[in-house]
Amino acid sequence: MVIVDENDVVIDQPPPHGAIGMSTAYRISDVAPKRNMEFRKRSLHVGAQIGEHIISHDEVYYVVSGNGVVISDGEEAALSEGMAAYLYTGANVGIRQVGDEPLMLIISYPLAARKE
């Protein structure tokens, strides 16, 4: 078992896949040795976005607060607090913050199998 305080793993950085705007990342699963999944909280600041990228695994974006627009293979959908986007392997995906407040997300996906 690993217990993680998000305050110990927080960093301000440009969002991945294009560095569009700024974000606050809570790299929660980074401190878990031998993990099989990624679990992160990320706040996309006003105007920021995770650029479109092809995913090699299923991935979930869960909205904690704020508003965003998720993109998957050219299709866009609005997301708000309490909504989740389940994205499939091979899709070209991204998400952008919209509105006046940051978009707070939980992002989770499996990692490649480890060779033991």
Q: What is the pLDDT of residues 57-78, one digit of tens each?
A: 999 999 999 999 999 999 999 9
**Each residue of 12-56: pLDDT tens digit?**
999 999 989 999 999 999 999 989 999 999 999 999 999 999 999
> Tokens representing 34?
């031998």
The CA distance from 92 to 46, in Å, is: 23
Length of the chain: 116
Residue corresponding to tokens 């033991």: 116
pLDDT(113) > 90: no
d(CA 110, CA 58): 7
